[in-house]
Amino acid sequence: MKRALVTAVVALVGTLLFVTPAVAASSTGDPQPGAAGTGANGEATEPLVLTLQQAIARALEVAPELRLAELDVAEKEIALKEAEIGQLEGRPASELVAAQYELEKAKQAVLDARESVALKVEQQYYEVLRSTELLDIQQQSLERAKRQFQVTEARYQAGLISRHEYLAAQDQLVVQEHSFRQAQASLELAKLQFKLLLGLPQESEIVLQDRFPFAPLDVDLAESLRQALARRSDLLAARQAVASAERQVALSDNDYTPPVQLQRARMALERAQIAAAQAETRVALEVRQKYLALEQARVAVEESERARERARDALRIAEARYNNGLSPLLELLNAQAALARAELDAVEAVWDYNLAKAAFLQAIGERLLPAEGSSS
40-57 pLDDT, tens digit each: 555 557 889 999 999 999
**What does the pLDDT average to over 358-366?**
89
CA distances 75 to 72, 107, 110, 143, 241, Å, are 5, 11, 13, 60, 19
**Is a pLDDT exceeding 90 seen at residue 74?**
yes
pLDDT of residue 3 exceeding 50, the answer is no
Point out which residues pair with 342 in neighbouring strands: none
> What is the separation of C-alpha 208 from the centre of its chain, rounded to a whole number of angstroms?
14
Specify the higher pLDDT residue, 362 or 283.
283
In this prediction, residue 369 has a pLDDT band, given cuts at 50, 70 and 90, of low
pLDDT at 4 over 50: no
pLDDT at 33 over 70: no
Q: Give the pLDDT band (50/70/90) at residue 370.
A: low
Per-residue pLDDT, 213: 80
At residue 28, the pLDDT reads 38
* Mean per-residue pLDDT, 306-330: 90
242: nearest Cα among 208, 275, 287:
275
Q: What does the alpha-carbon distance between residue 66 and residue 72 come to, in Å, rounded to a whole number?
A: 10
**pLDDT tens sequence across 131-154:** 999 999 999 999 988 988 998 899
Q: What is the mean pLDDT of residues 58-73?
A: 95
Query: Residue 83: exposed, middle, or buried by beta-carbon count in 10 A (0-12, 13-18, 19+)?
Result: buried
Model pLDDT, residue 11: 42
8 A C-beta contact, residue 206 and residue 20: yes
Who has greater pLDDT, 342 or 88? 342
For residue 30, pLDDT beyond 90: no
CA distance 99 to 19: 53
CATH 1.20.1600.10 segments of the chain = 48-209, 217-366
Instruction: Give the CATH class of 48-209.
Output: mainly alpha
| Number of other residues whose CB lies within 10 A of the CB of residue 78 | 12
pLDDT of the residue at 36:
43
Is pLDDT above 50 for 375? no
Share of the chain above pLDDT 70, in %: 85
When pLDDT is averaged across residues 326-335 and rounded to a whole number, the result is 87
Residue 321 predicted with pLDDT over 70? yes
- pLDDT, one tens digit per residue, over 155-172 is 889 888 889 888 988 998
User: φ, ψ for residue 358 (rounded to 5)?
Assistant: -60, -40
User: What pLDDT is attached to residue 367?
Assistant: 66
pLDDT tens for 264-316 read 999 999 999 999 999 999 999 999 999 999 999 999 999 999 999 999 999 99
Q: What is the DSSP string of 158-218?
A: TT-S-HHHHHHHHHHHHHHHHHHHHHHHHHHHHHHHHHHHHT--TT--EEE----------
130 near 351, Cβ under 8 Å? yes
Q: Tell me the H-state helices in the chain.
A: 2-13, 21-24, 52-62, 64-88, 93-157, 163-198, 221-231, 233-252, 259-323, 329-363
> Is it the case that residue 212 has pLDDT exceeding 60?
yes
Average of pLDDT values for 82-105?
A: 87
Calculate the average pLDDT of the chain.
Answer: 84
CATH number of 217-366: 1.20.1600.10
Answer positive or negative: Cα dihedral of 131, 135, 138, 144: negative
Residue among 122, 144, 147, 126 nearest 54 (CA)? 122
Exposure string for 331-352, b = 16+ CB within 10 A, e = fewer: bbbbbbbbbbebbbbbbbbbbb
Predicted model pTM: 0.71
Separation in Å, CA 226 to CA 223, 231, 280, 290: 5, 9, 11, 15
Which pLDDT score, from 0 to 100, does residue 72 have?
Answer: 96
Average pLDDT in the 303-330 region? 90
Q: Phi/psi at 207 (nearest 5 deg)? A: -130, 125
Q: What is the pLDDT of residues 240-257, one digit of tens each?
A: 899 989 998 998 888 888
pLDDT at position 8 = 42
pLDDT of residue 174: 94
Looking at residue 165, its pLDDT comes to 87
